[in-house]
Amino acid sequence: MSAARNLDRTLAALADPTRRRVVELLRERPRRAGELASAFRISAPAMSRHLRVLRTRGLVEEERVDDDARVRVYRLRREPFDALSLWLRELEAFWSDQLEAFGAHVAKRRAEAQRGTR
């Protein structure tokens, strides 16, 4: 059940407006931690906590750039988002199947009513 567990972790990590916005920004391109902090009205330590949540749950990864060990760039990892897309597609299929069944039921009732009035 590790796919489900990972999905729960992904959803939980995204259950915060700031972290969702961080993910939005990282969709465009990788960014430095400082750049992310300044894009929000929150302190660097607060941003760092959000990034840690995203990192420990596997949504982002960090890498050092150039020769400067102090500079870290955050980028999205593809896997958790692929798994999430797959699950959301399955949920869409679930409700599409349900609405299809509902449509068939309405059509059946209408046909019965038409037979009754003939």
Gap between the Cα atoms of 58 and 10, Å rounded: 8
Q: Give least dist CB 96 to another protein, A.
A: 5
Helix axes 17-28, 44-56, angle to 10 degrees: 80
CB of 94 to another protein, least distance (A): 7
- Measured from the CB atom, the residue of 67 and 90 that comes closer to another protein is 90
Q: How far from the centroid of its chain's Cα atoms is residue 83's Cα?
A: 9
Q: Between 43 and 102, name the residue whose CB sits nearer to another protein.
A: 102
Partnered with residue 31 across adjacent β-strands are 74
Min dist. Cβ of residue 116 to another protein (A):
14
Nearer to another protein, 20 or 64 (CB): 20
